Structure 1
């Protein structure tokens, strides 16, 4: 057998085939946040982060025995959570502009942001959430982002814009264009977190891995991908979508975020919230979702307790 000749023939067949880029699995030295804290933009003020920490700490002290029971009697873990809440209650902040807001709210939020930043009360990771780029909310999304950043005067370091209901490559292309235009007017680097809220945002009707195409289009503009469970209809479908997103994200410099957060129903006690949320966070961590979304002070003790316990067990 003429192996050299056969090799030449295969080379000829594959001459015009592009080699996929080889990207090493990234293990960055940067500390990644374990959650994003959402606050309605109109409720944000300069002392918000400190107030949230104090409220969460107060819940533990008020229900210390019950919280310790939730932790299986682990006094050291409880002390670690209290220390965290006193030092850094929020690791990643999102001012949420998806409820309708006018220009006054945007301007006031920008002033509060600037004040919190000047006093050192913003976490290292922070940003805003804007409405979807669908036809009905597109203008408000662009206006909110532009007006807020003009009010702040720059794209702050570590700033990330979460975008609701991203559906495909065309919207990511629009986000890249938006970032490039903003950066011509203001200093800083603008990055996005895309929220996936339907199976078609992960896999197109034609069977194409749509999220991989989005990430290719967005490149280093996409800082995170968040799956919003409510849009997937079933846990089984959500699990399948998560697997596809993890494959697409492998080797890329981005975070995968769990869109779920503890839901508080009428009549729930703080212990009910802690019990459910501890289990929820543990489950997310086991699935490889190292960051979640919180919006109530009661969720912070259980978020940090579950994360510390998981880290210790994985060490």
Structure 2
């Protein structure tokens, strides 16, 4: 081994120590505000069902209805490919995986709706029933990976009713055995950070009342008003909302139709690809980046029902919007009808399968030299591994095929997807 070269420096150790001391508060603030992605699975969609119509077999019936629609309007791979414009090499694997997904796990995230979609007459009863049915489903293994409720907003006219529904629902779950890991709560129509602070106070008090660990209950913030994007002082209000949640915010969900209407967009043009929607979601995305809060796209209100020609038209629209969202890194959206499930999964599976080989090859090449004397961009490995992990989690890719293509275990993929903050600022050598 050669003798180590001696180099000269001019700065005293005290200078370096002083810089470190001066930035200690910044270091702590970065760690607190920007912990990075939690590394857990993110569902590809959220299915909303009115609380009064939610039943023990809702998830199963959605899957059966979606399969029936697929069998009627695209019974084989070639038919689905013609409708959606899938390339030939993807037609069979996408069609087969869509069928398997609808049979095995048709809904990844279920939200029982007590807000706009609710039309019941006894909200106490429906909230208690929702808790009872979900607790039973979680106990017997039939619940989707994520599920919960959307309560009414914090505006004065419905505030007490929303708070009571939240209390009834959470109390019912606790009495049935506790809060499951897949529980998700959604707070809609947030306009001021004080409403987020109020939600934090509510769940804090519930945790204290039931002896739960502090911070156990998180919630999503639904972005449906202009005030949630831009405040009267010109600041991005949504960033303040994330901060006001004190680490409890799990997601930002874009509300397509309420937000569009708030801006005066006419009904015929209210859609996820409208410029107003793109602006709102871009602000949400930047505000959430690095915080661990995920961003979800909204929905389409064009339902795939009626004759085959009309179903195909709605499918093409939904497929195109979903693919567009995925390309813009909005990995989750809403589905409002069982007929949306075939194209949700077709779009998601095609997105991950078409880029699988290239992503696996690039990550394998990076991993092969990461331990040597060549330092590639860690951000590249982070993006590639995150892409592959999302594909595995939703069923687009199989873990064994990813392991064969990359030579990496799931644990190694996880490590690449969540590097330390300093690693992402490393430069090539």
TM-score by length of 2: 0.66
How far is the alpha carbon of 1:312 from its aligned partner? 2.2
Structure richer in strand, relative to its length: 1
Other structure's SS at 2:247 match? helix
**2:182 corresponds to which residue?**
158
Q: Is the Cα–Cα contact under 8 Å of residues 34 and 292 in structure 1 kept in the other structure? A: yes
Task: Give distance in 2, aligned partners of 1:29 and 1:216.
Answer: 20
**1:207 corresponds to which residue?**
234
Structure richer in helix, relative to its length: 2
Other structure's SS at 1:113 match? helix
Please point out which of 126, 130, 138 is paired with 1:117.
Answer: 138
Superposed CA RMSD in Å reads: 2.7
Task: Give distance in 1, aligned partners of 2:256 and 2:284.
Answer: 13
Are positions 1:306 and 2:347 aligned together? Answer: yes
Please point out which of 180, 192, 196 is paired with 1:168.
Answer: 192
**1:274 corresponds to which residue?**
315
Task: Give distance in 1, aligned partners of 2:126 and 2:256.
Answer: 29
Cα deviation 1:136-179 (Å, max 9, x = unaligned): 01011101110111122233222111111011210111011011
Task: Give distance in 2, aligned partners of 1:127 and 1:284.
Answer: 24
Cα deviation 1:269-306 (Å, max 9, x = unaligned): 32222111101101111222100001211000100110
Other structure's SS at 1:19 match? helix
**1:238 corresponds to which residue?**
277
How far is the alpha carbon of 1:241 from its aligned partner? 2.1
Please point out which of 128, 144, 157 is paired with 2:149.
Answer: 128
Query: 1:185–1:157: structure 2 CA closer, same or farther, 3 Å change rule?
Result: farther
Other structure's SS at 1:219 match? coil
Cα deviation 1:215-264 (Å, max 9, x = unaligned): 11113211100111221435223222222211111111121011223422
Other structure's SS at 2:148 match? strand
How far is the alpha carbon of 1:266 from its aligned partner? 7.7
Q: Is the Cα–Cα contact under 8 Å of residues 129 and 161 in structure 1 kept in the other structure? A: yes
Q: Is the Cα–Cα contact under 8 Å of residues 218 and 248 in structure 2 kept in the other structure? A: yes
Task: Give distance in 2, aligned partners of 1:109 and 1:307.
Answer: 29
Q: Is the Cα–Cα contact under 8 Å of residues 262 and 294 in structure 1 kept in the other structure? A: no
> 5+ unaligned residues in a row in structure 1: which ranges?
none
Other structure's SS at 2:246 match? helix
Are positions 1:22 and 2:30 aligned together? Answer: yes
Task: Give distance in 1, aligned partners of 2:24 and 2:348.
Answer: 45
Query: 1:45–1:75: structure 2 CA closer, same or farther, 3 Å change rule?
Result: same
How far is the alpha carbon of 1:182 from its aligned partner? 1.1
Query: 1:18–1:238: structure 2 CA closer, same or farther, 3 Å change rule?
Result: farther
How far is the alpha carbon of 1:92 from its aligned partner? 0.7
| Matched residues, number | 307
Other structure's SS at 1:39 match? strand
Task: Give distance in 2, aligned partners of 1:266 and 1:295.
Answer: 12
Query: 1:51–1:265: structure 2 CA closer, same or farther, 3 Å change rule?
Result: closer
How far is the alpha carbon of 1:267 from its aligned partner? 5.4
**1:53 corresponds to which residue?**
63
Q: Is the Cα–Cα contact under 8 Å of residues 107 and 148 in structure 1 kept in the other structure? A: yes
Query: 1:18–1:227: structure 2 CA closer, same or farther, 3 Å change rule?
Result: same
Query: 1:42–1:178: structure 2 CA closer, same or farther, 3 Å change rule?
Result: same
**1:70 corresponds to which residue?**
83
Bigger CA radius of gyration = 2
**1:253 corresponds to which residue?**
292
Q: Is the Cα–Cα contact under 8 Å of residues 35 and 294 in structure 1 kept in the other structure? A: yes
Task: Give distance in 2, aligned partners of 1:109 and 1:55.
Answer: 22
How far is the alpha carbon of 1:79 from its aligned partner? 0.5
TM-score by length of 1: 0.89
